[in-house]
Chain A
Amino acid sequence: MHIVICIKQVPDSAQIRVHPVTNTIMRQGVPTIINPYDLFALEEALRLRDAHGGEVTVLTMGPPMAEDALRKALTYGADRAVLLTDRCFAGSDTLATSFALSRAIVRIGETFGAPDIVFAGKQTIDGDTAQVGPGIAKRLGLLQFTYVAKIGSIDVDAREITVKRRSEGGTQMLKSRLPCLVTMLEGTNEIRRGSLDDAMRAARSQIVKWSAAEAGIDDLNKCGLRGSPTVVKRVFAPTTRAEKATQIDMTDKTQHDLADELIAAIFTRQPALEHELAFDGGQ
């Protein structure tokens, strides 16, 4: 079985700061990580490989430094890493990104064998769109399963797969065919620690690096800014409210007095609440 997993290197946005005056992002020194959601998909891919045999190829599109994320994925146990990197991809929106990645997946298929499953993270923590996975599926004409909580069974010979996918009110059980694209829900599996062997192998591994041309992309109008229907017009900081919270005065009060005072303040501001609360709650 050949599994391809798409990951993204993202800034650890917990550590991003916005310049107070210029409202620009201060990226200097912000460490990068593998998009956390992708790790659940990677883990699932590795488990499937361990259970059914085959290979896991990890793919990313990004600047040359995204190689670090790939090497990290290799330490977890991926077999092969492909970096799609080219200046022409700069500024890609989700449509352009899904185009480039889908072309690279076709190329991976031609070079290393057609994938049975393509994995992607549910969404990224920097873009948050959850659109690239479905975009790739559509581009490749693959069946798609997003928000998958569990892969039930896979029959590689019969080309069958069952998945449990999260929906608003419950879980849907689906049966479908390989090849397909799956995005995994977070928290669905325990992410492994890479072994020492894998770490050593990762350090020695050659990462396959493809430019747009090497990945077989000849239509540059579909890449980067030119291939992106959406245009970012303005980036700005959220407005802050002028007044701060009204503080309940603490001096010389017991916790019980404070509680009574807070409740009084709540009901003064929201008189209707008292009635509703007495009605619904309090039993």
Chain B
Amino acid sequence: MSNANREAPPSAGRAGIKRELPEHFRDYRHVWVFIELERGEVHPVSFELLGEGRKLADKLGMQLAGIVLGPPGEATQHAIAEAFAYGADLVYLVEAPLLADYRNEPFTKAMTDLVNTHKPEILLLGATTLGRDLAGSVATTLLTGLTADCTELDVVDGSLAATRPTFGGSLLCTIYTLNYRPQMATVRPRVMAMPPRTDKPVGRVIRHKLSMTEEEIITKVLGFNLDRQSAKANLAYADIVVAGGLGLGSAENLQLVKNLARAIGAEYGCSRPLVQKGWMPADRQVGQTGKTIRPKLYIAAGISGAIQHRVGVEGADLIVAINTDPNAPIFDFAHLGIVTDAIRFLPALTEAFTRRLSPHSHDKLAS
């Protein structure tokens, strides 16, 4: 069972939020954002969360802190500087060689020690493989509430109001963590908008020691295989995404989507049934159980626009839908619609784009 699945208890109903915190929670203050650093790189979701955390902190009249856990060295210093550039007032830092590669044990220890010492009111993490692994352990260690995959965060009557999809995405629910601190939430990459980067290079850094030695950590890292860059889908951060759905009819027809994507420098993606059929790998799936995307342009071909697909693409600036069915739900949230057979239309579109984008192609041919 999970919190999102639960009906609201009748007693909680519309009654106000109970805010009589137990004495020992009164000194919990400030909004924390975990700055996810893996293999030298800060995950952009951390900046998106700083943007969101800033709003919450301002509403609460509190400070915004970045939490940096990493090995001594340049990458960690860079993460600190970036946290400030994206709006953190201060950074809590645990710097230790043991934090070079992600392992649950030292990261959970570092984070829970920080929380117990400095007592944040709110703690936000990205719902990445690392963030989810860590958040679950930290919340259970601290015995506090954790709301996963939020799509909206707000402060209502001084409490964190975390909204997330439920029932397979068909409904939303707003969840509070009353009487427990910190109030924890995870948010998936690209659900929140990227805040502007400022050039505010310095801030206060509060250091904390990791009270753990390598001998105490049972898990050892044997190695790491980087994804082959070329094969890796970077859907979440692509500016343009072209996606195909079941309407394309066959695995072969997906080539039409890939061709268009290649012609305009886009990433390609798909709806879930295509992954289930084995037509595309899981990291190309767009939607609630796939990737959340926020491209400038999203072209959906042969996709019906089910709610689970919709929640993953709603953040796009411009949604174009190609579908044979004028009543397909995708037309309810697309900006531009075209009722036609995608199998015939995609090649024409690819060709038209190519013509339009390379006006000198004729010259080249001529010379």
Interface residues, chain A, with chain B CB atoms under 8 Å away: 8, 13-14, 16-18, 23, 25, 61-62, 89, 91-95, 97-98, 124-135, 137-139, 143-147, 162, 165-177, 186-187, 225, 228-238, 240-241, 244-248, 250, 254-256, 258-260, 262-263, 265-266, 269-270, 272-273, 276-278, 280-283
Contact = CB atoms under 8 A, between A and B. Distances in A.
Given A95-B140, A126-B4, A233-B17, 16 more contacts: A95-B139, A127-B2, A128-B148, A132-B136, A134-B140, A143-B104, A143-B218, A165-B129, A172-B221, A233-B176, A254-B348, A270-B317, A273-B296, A277-B264, A277-B265, A281-B264
Given A167-B129, A168-B130, A283-B358, A129 B149 contact: yes
Among A89, A168, A229, A265, the most chain B Cβ lie within 10 Å of the Cβ of: A229
B223 A255 contact: no
B175 interface: yes
A160 B140 CA distance: 26
Given A93-B145, A236-B172, A258 B331 contact: no
8 closest residue pairs by CB, A with B = A127-B2, A134-B136, A13-B168, A281-B265, A229-B145, A282-B357, A245-B337, A93-B3
A260 B176 CA distance: 50
A186 B127 CA distance: 17
Interface string B98-136: 000111110010000000000000000001111011011
B214 interface: no
Nearest to B329: A240
Given A126-B167, A238-B307, A259 B349 contact: yes
Interface in B38-81: 38-39, 41, 43
Instruction: Name the residue among B140, B330, B349 with the largest chain A CB count within 10 angstroms.
Output: B140
Interface stretch (B86-94, B205-213, B224-232, B246-254): B224-232
B122 to A, nearest CB: 13
Given A235-B171, A237-B172, A246-B336, A281 B136 contact: no
Dominant SS at the B interface? mixed
A170 B224 contact: yes
Interface centre among A145, A162, A175 (most CB of B within 10 A): A175
B228 to A, nearest CB: 9
Contacts of B5: 126-127
A262 B148 contact: no
A231 to B, nearest CB: 5
Contacts, number: 342
Contacts of B275: 187
B155 interface: no
Contacts of A128: 2, 4, 148-149, 165, 288-289
A135 B349 contact: no
Interface of B: 1-9, 12, 17, 38-39, 41, 43, 101-105, 108, 127-130, 132-133, 135-137, 139-141, 143-149, 161, 165-168, 170-180, 218-227, 239-240, 263-266, 275, 282, 288-289, 296-297, 307, 311, 317-321, 326, 330-340, 344-345, 347-349, 351-354, 356-358
B222 A237 contact: no
A12 to B, nearest CB: 9
A30 to B, nearest CB: 10
Contacts of B264: 277, 281-282
9 contacts: A16-B168, A170-B224, A175-B220, A176-B219, A230-B145, A230-B147, A233-B173, A258-B338, A282-B358
Contacts of B222: 162, 173-175
Contacts of A256: 348, 351-352
B108 to A, nearest CB: 8
Given A167-B102, A177-B218, A270-B296, A230 B3 contact: yes
Contacts of A225: 6, 9
A246 B102 CA distance: 47
Contact of B357 (A144, A147, A228, A278): A278
Given A256-B351, A281-B266, A266 B129 contact: no
Given A25-B171, A282-B265, A173 B224 contact: yes
Given A98-B140, A125-B289, A135-B140, A143 B337 contact: no
Given A168-B128, A231-B175, A255 B3 contact: no
B146 A94 contact: yes
Contacts of B170: 13, 16-18, 25, 237
Contacts of B166: 126-127, 235
A130 to B, nearest CB: 5
A70 to B, nearest CB: 16
Contacts of B219: 143, 174-177
Contacts of A258: 338, 340, 345, 348
Contacts of A276: 239, 296
A130 B132 contact: yes
B220 A232 contact: no
A97 B289 contact: no
A244 B337 contact: yes
